[in-house]
Amino acid sequence: MKLSALTAYLESLAPLNYQEDYDNSGLIVGNPEQEVSQALISLDCTEAVVDEAIATGCQVIISHHPIVFKGIKKFNGKTYVERVVEKAIRKGIAIYAIHTNLDSIMTGVNARICETLGLKNSRILLPKHNLIKKLVTYVPLNHADTVRDALFAAGAGNIGNYSEVSFNAEGTGTFKGNDAATPYVGEIGKRHKEDEIRIETVYPANLESKILMALILAHPYEEVAYDLYNLTNQHQQVGSGMIGELEMPLNEESFLFHVKDKMRTHVIRHTKLLGKHVKKVAVCGGSGGFLLKHAIAAGADVFITADYKYHEFFDAEGKIVIADIGHFESEQFTQQLLYEIIRKKFPIFAVRLTEVNTNPVKYFI
């Protein structure tokens, strides 16, 4: 299939506008129109991973971490980033990254951590703002159901566990067409009154073009009146980190043994144990220190993440146990997650998990 079909599906699950401002998710190397028959999945895109893609006949590498975060001004092969990009281009291998946008969704990286640890009732720890918009339009009475159905089918009207959500109010619309108009009702040159319904519904900002196209195609009027509003509401199903609960509380030491086993980590750097039972656990794959105050506010007993600096451990202030399990270790199951996502949608498309351990951190035990 074309590379664009694969990337479009991934972005339908984890839209690019869900990524953080510093991130660079999306198609980094490659032509969307190129044909692909096999993908290699890796946490990082290194030279060894590109070599593996070449050896196994994969035309695209799907990595969690982008190989390029910042602009590159020269390609002299002096850095591993330059060498990876150069080799991929020469060999016609596409590189696609799905990073913080995959972190942010309810079924993404942090959900897989919660699942691995056996956490229940998981929810987003810090929901994102400014991802929801509202559409208001005015429709003649006998077309209201048709327009609503079209908007819902395009992805509008979803709030949490509810779908087909809208507000409707009847009123009277007026208009007068000029000589160039072809009005659905009324006469040219005469003011017309029409009984209409004002329909209000919300939608994800990334679906705006699809929503508006559905509205225009379903609406009977030659000129469709509508208003678009930016909402600052939190999107409860998109955001950073997650928090969940153990089915049965564990003492802190037993819980850390549980984490070490399930997350396959060599070592856990942690703050002082507080002598409490662990029931509620906050998690964030990768560098999640910015979520500490939110984990405390949510009542978490332990916060599992990575990349903590020495002085940042003091911020626990005896209110929570911080457990730094390592960046690679916290995100390693993302590879399997991506494998399952792609195979479910494209069961006859060849997907391969890398055999390269890209973790740059080694432990002298």
311 contacts 41 by C-beta, under 8 angstroms = no
Q: Are residues 199 and 213 in the same domain?
A: yes
Residue where one domain finishes, among candidates 231, 266, 292: 231
Residues in the chain: 365
pLDDT tens by residue, 314-339: 999 999 999 999 999 999 999 999 99
Q: Are residues 254 and 316 in the same domain?
A: yes
What separation in angstroms does the CA of 14 have from each of 7, 106, 335? Answer: 10, 10, 15
Q: Are residues 138 and 183 in the same domain?
A: yes
Q: At 202, which CATH number?
A: 3.30.70.120
360 is a domain residue? no
Q: At 276, which CATH number?
A: 3.40.1390.30
The whole-angstrom separation of Cα 172 and Cα 156 is: 25
Q: Are residues 168 and 200 in the same domain?
A: yes
Q: Residue 215: enclosing H or E segment and its boundaries? A: helix 208-218
With b meaning 16 or more CB within 10 Å and e meaning fewer, what string describes 354-365?
A: bebebeeeeeee
Please give the tally of structural domains in the chain.
3
Residue 266 labeled ligand binder: no
361 is a domain residue? no
What is the SS3 assignment for 31-73? CCCCECCEEEEECCCCHHHHHHHHHHCCCEEEECCCCCCCCCC
Residue 270 labeled ligand binder: no
Q: Are residues 141 and 121 in the same domain?
A: no
Per-residue tens of pLDDT for the chain, all 365 residues: 999 999 999 999 999 999 999 999 999 999 999 999 999 999 999 999 999 999 999 999 999 999 999 888 888 889 999 999 999 999 999 999 999 999 999 999 999 999 999 999 999 999 999 999 999 999 999 999 999 999 999 999 999 889 999 999 999 999 999 999 999 999 999 999 999 999 999 999 999 999 999 999 999 999 999 999 999 999 999 999 999 999 999 999 999 999 999 999 999 999 999 999 999 999 999 999 999 999 999 999 999 999 999 999 999 999 999 999 999 999 999 999 999 999 999 999 999 999 999 999 999 98
- Output the pTM of the full model: 0.91
Residue 277 labeled ligand binder: no
43 is a domain residue? yes
Instruction: Report angle CA 230, 160, 164 to the nearest 5 degrees.
Output: 80
Strand order in the sheet with 26-29: 26-29, 94-97, 60-63, 38-42, 350-353
Q: Are residues 110 and 188 in the same domain?
A: no
Q: Are residues 344 and 312 in the same domain?
A: no
Structure tokens at 164: 């087909």
14 is a domain residue? yes
Strands 26-29 and 94-97: antiparallel
Closest CA to 288 of 250, 255, 315, 266: 315
Q: Are residues 340 and 318 in the same domain?
A: no
Q: 């159905």: which residue's tokens?
A: 149
Q: Are residues 85 and 14 in the same domain?
A: yes
* C-alpha Rg value of the chain to the nearest Å: 25
363 is a domain residue? no
Residue type present at position 307: D
Structure tokens at 37: 């028959």
Q: Are residues 226 and 158 in the same domain?
A: yes
Domain with 83, as residue range(s), is: 3-101+331-353
Rounded-to-10 torsion of CA 203, 207, 212, 214: -90
Residue 294 labeled ligand binder: no
Residue where one domain finishes, among candidates 181, 196, 231: 231
Q: Are residues 173 and 217 in the same domain?
A: yes
pLDDT tens by residue, 242-260: 999 999 999 999 999 999 9
313 is a domain residue? yes
The whole-angstrom separation of Cα 80 and Cα 91 is: 16
What separation in angstroms does the CA of 158 have from each of 10, 98, 104, 203, 228? Answer: 20, 24, 18, 7, 16
* Sequence-distant (≥ 6) Cβ neighbours of residue 56 within 8 angstroms: 38, 40, 352
242 contacts 282 by C-beta, under 8 angstroms = yes
200 is a domain residue? yes
Q: Are residues 344 and 280 in the same domain?
A: no
111 is a domain residue? yes
Q: Residue 212: enclosing H or E segment and its boundaries? A: helix 208-218
